[in-house]
Structure 1
Amino acid sequence: MTRVLAAVALILAVGLATVDAQAWSWRSHGKPGTVNIKSAMAVMKDGKLFGVGGNKKLYERVWTGSGWTWVNHGKPSSGIFNPKNFLEEPCILRDGKVYMTTIDGDLYERYWTGSQWSFGAHGNPGTNLEGCSALKDTAGRAMVFTRGHDGTLRERYWTGSSWAWRNHGKPPGTDAYGTTSSYAIYGPTTRVFVPGRNGRLFRFSLDGNYNGAWKNLGAPPGKSVRKVHATEKGGIFAITVDGDVCRWSGSWACYGKPDGKAVWDCSDPFLIENPSINIQTLFCVHTGSYQEVYQLSVFQGGSGWVNRGKPSGTNTFVDRPTVMFSGPYSRVFVPANNGKVYELYPPGQP
C-alpha cells in the first residue's frame, strides 16, 4: 500500500500538487461585515462564490482582479412584511444564474440583467421545496431539480419561451429524501440522484424527449445512504448513515472512515485525468466537536485518505466543503463555526 500511495503522490503532483498534507495551506476570507456565513459556498464558473448568511441573506465572494471582496445580494421580498429568507446552500446554473430555496419552500433565482443583479421568483409547484441542483444540458435546456416536501422530485425547466414545472414523482416504493445531485451525459440525457427515505440511492434519467425513468441503485451492504454527490467525470459518491463514503459504479465500494472518524458531508467529486491513471477525489469533513478536512482519492487498484487539517483558531465547520478550479489547481472553500469562510489551497496557488 505504501508503494501505491507513493505513486498517487507523483500523479497528484501534476494535477493537485501533492498528497503531502503539509504542502497545503489555509487562508481566511473573513465574513461580510458582522454577518456569519451559515451555508456551503456554491461555486460559479467565473470565480464567484455564493452563500447564505445568518441573517438569511445571499452573499457573494468575488475576485475583482486585484483582490477579494464581499457583496451583499440581500433577499427578495413578496411584501413589506413578508421578506423571503434563504436557508441552504445555493446551486449554480452553468450560464451564471444562482438558484436557492427559501425557508417557506419557494424557489428563487438571482441573475444578471446585463446591468444589475435581480431576483426572479419561481414559487413552488404546490408543495414546499428544499435544496436544488441545476444544469444546462448539451441541447441548451436549463433545468433546476429540487425535492418536494411531499417526497417527489420536481423540475423547473425552460421551455424555450417560459419557465414551467414538471413532477417526476417519487422513487419507487419510497419518498425522495435530502437534496439532489444532477448532471448531463450523452447529449441531452440528464441524470439526477436522490437518496430515498428507505436508505437506498435512486437515479432518475431524463432523455432528450423528456421521457424519464427511475432506477433503484440500492445501498452498500448493511448500510443506508444519507447524502449523494455526483458529477459526470467525478463518479457517484454517497455518504452513509454510519459515516462511510462509498461509490456506486455498477456495484458499491466503500472507503471507510478517515482515521476512524464518521464523515458528515463532502464536496462534489471530480476527476484528475492522467495518461497512466485516473483519480477520483473529493474533500470531506467528519462529525465531532473538533473537525478537520480530509481528502479522499480513489484510483484503479486502491484509495487513500489524507488529512488536510483545519484553519487555525477554528474547531468545527457549519457546512460542507466546495471546490473551485483555477487553471490546473483546485481551491477548497469551507465555512467555519466563527462565521468566516476559509480556503484550502495547494502549493503554487496564487
Structure 2
Amino acid sequence: MGDLTRAVIEQAAANPWWKTGATSLRAAAGPTAALAADDPVTRVVTNGGDLLNGDRFFVGAADGRLFERRRLGGVWVWRDHGTPPNTAVATSGAVVPPDRVYVRTRDSRLFERRWDGDRWVWNDCGAPPTGVHSRPVVGNGLIHLLGGDGALWRSDPGTRGWTSLGAPALGASERLWGSPRPSLLGVLVATTGNRLFGHDGQWRQIGSGSPPVWGSPAAQHPYQDPAGRVGISYVTPDGRLVSLFGDGSTYLHDPRRTADGWSRWRRTPRRWATRRSWRSSPSPRPPPTPPTSG
C-alpha cells in the first residue's frame, strides 16, 4: 500500500485531513525517491488495526505518529494524525464506530482520537493504576486491555471509568500476555503457559484439551464450512493454525493434507480429548518475551 517515506509524509503535512479531498495524497505505486541520500523511511511498526466504517484503519509509525490508511475515490490514501500531546503512539487503533479510535501510548496510557464533528482531536483516557500493557481491543462498545498488574481491565468509553476483571488461577510463573480478544466465548486472553482463558463474567479455561496457543487469538469470523459456524483462530507454538468454535471443538489445519493447504474446508472439526494428541508433535518452542504493542 506504499511506504511512509519522508516525501510522502511531507506531502501529507502539506495536504492534511482538513484539506484532503478528491486530490488527496496517494502513495506511489513504486518506491518513492528520497529527498536526500540519508532520508530514512518512516516504517509502520504495528499491526493493521481494526477497520472503521468499512474503509479505513489506523496504524502506528516508528516515530510515534498515528497514520490513517483510507480508501477514497477507489484509491488508498495516507492521513497523518500526528502524536498525542506529550507522548507517542505505541499500537494500532482499536475502533468504536462511527468516529472513535483508541491507542496505547509509549507512557502506558490510553488515548482516544475522535472526530468531534469539525476536526479530529486527542483525548487522554488515563490508565489503570499500573498502566496499559497491551494493545486495546473493543467488544460490545467496551475497551479491554491488560494492565501492568497482570489483570484484564475494562474501560467504558462513555464514562472513561476503569474496572479490573482480575486474572484466572495461573501457574507460579504463568501470566496473561498478548492482547485480549472479544469473542462468542467471552474475552479471550492467552497465557505464557500456552493456555487460553475466557472471561464472560467469570474466568474459565477454553479448550482445556485443545492444542496449545501462542500469542493473541485472531478476530472472530464466520467459516465457509457446511454448518456456517463462527469461531476464532490461533497459532500453536510450533506454527500450526487451529480453529476454535463455540462448542469447544477445534480443527487443526494441515497444509500437507489438502491441495491448496488453507483455502477450503476439507474435514469436520473434532474435539481434542487430551493433550497427548499434540504432544506427539515436535516440542513447542518457549514463548518469546511478550509483546507490548500491536
For normalisation by structure 2, the TM-score amounts to 0.61
Q: In 2, Cα distance between the equivalents of 1:122 and 1:191?
A: 32
The aligned amino acid for 2:146 is: I
Instruction: Give the 3 Å change call, closer, same or farther, for CA 101–333 of structure 1 in structure 2.
Output: farther
How far did 1:281 drift? 2.6
CA RMSD of superposed structures (Å): 3.4
Question: Could you report, residue by residue, the CA deviation over 1:170-203 in whole angstroms, capped at 9, with x for unpaired residues?
Answer: 1121111133222422xxxx21111011111111
Q: In 1, Cα distance between the equivalents of 2:31 and 2:116?
A: 26
Query: Gapped runs of 5+ residues in structure 1?
Result: 1-98, 107-119, 273-279, 298-302
Which residue matches 1:197?
106
Which residue matches 2:281?
none
Matched, 1:163 2:59: no
Matched, 1:128 2:25: no
Q: In 2, Cα distance between the equivalents of 1:127 and 1:262?
A: 34
Matched, 1:256 2:195: no
For normalisation by structure 1, the TM-score amounts to 0.52
- Out of 97, 107, 110, which is 1:184 matched to? 97
Query: Which structure would you say has the larger RCO, counting Cα contacts within 8 Å and 6 or more residues apart?
Result: 1
Q: In 2, Cα distance between the equivalents of 1:191 and 1:310?
A: 36
Partner-residue secondary structure (3-state), 1:333: strand
The aligned amino acid for 2:90 is: Y
TM alignment of 1:1-350, pairs within 5 A: 127-130=42-45, 131-137=47-53, 142-185=55-98, 190-206=99-115, 211-221=119-129, 223-231=130-138, 233-249=140-156, 250=159, 251-260=161-170, 261-270=174-183, 281-287=186-192, 290-297=193-200, 303-310=201-208, 314-315=211-212, 317-322=213-218, 323-325=220-222, 330-347=230-247
Partners of 1:170 and 1:176 within 8 A in 2: yes
Partner-residue secondary structure (3-state), 2:247: coil
Partners of 1:199 and 1:226 within 8 A in 2: yes
Partners of 1:224 and 1:241 within 8 A in 2: yes
Query: Gapped runs of 5+ residues in structure 2?
Result: 9-27, 33-39, 250-268, 270-294
Partners of 2:221 and 2:231 within 8 A in 1: yes
Partners of 2:134 and 2:179 within 8 A in 1: no
The aligned amino acid for 1:214 is: W
Q: In 2, Cα distance between the equivalents of 1:122 and 1:237?
A: 38
Question: Could you report, residue by residue, the CA deviation over 1:304-350 in whole angstroms, capped at 9, with x for unpaired residues?
Answer: 011114555x55x3321122246896412110012111122233977
Question: Could you report, residue by residue, the CA deviation over 1:37-79 in whole angstroms, capped at 9, with x for unpaired residues?
Answer: xxxxxxxxxxxxxxxxxxxxxxxxxxxxxxxxxxxxxxxxxxx
Which residue matches 2:262?
none
Which residue matches 1:33?
none
Q: In 2, Cα distance between the equivalents of 1:233 and 1:161?
A: 30
Q: In 2, Cα distance between the equivalents of 1:284 and 1:183?
A: 20
Q: In 1, Cα distance between the equivalents of 2:247 and 2:63?
A: 47
The aligned amino acid for 2:42 is: T
Q: In 2, Cα distance between the equivalents of 1:101 and 1:268?
A: 29
The aligned amino acid for 1:304 is: Q
Question: Could you report, residue by residue, the CA deviation over 1:52-107 in whole angstroms, capped at 9, with x for unpaired residues?
Answer: xxxxxxxxxxxxxxxxxxxxxxxxxxxxxxxxxxxxxxxxxxxxxxx8999xxx9x
How far did 1:248 drift? 0.5
How far did 1:143 drift? 1.2
The aligned amino acid for 2:112 is: R
Partners of 2:152 and 2:167 within 8 A in 1: yes
Question: Could you report, residue by residue, the CA deviation over 1:184-224 in whole angstroms, capped at 9, with x for unpaired residues?
Answer: 22xxxx21111011111111113566x10111111112x11
Which residue matches 1:70?
none
Q: In 1, Cα distance between the equivalents of 2:206 and 2:3?
A: 31
Instruction: Give the 3 Å change call, closer, same or farther, for CA 229–334 of structure 1 in structure 2.
Output: same
Q: When the two structures are aligned, how many residues end up with a matched partner?
A: 210
Partners of 1:179 and 1:227 within 8 A in 2: no
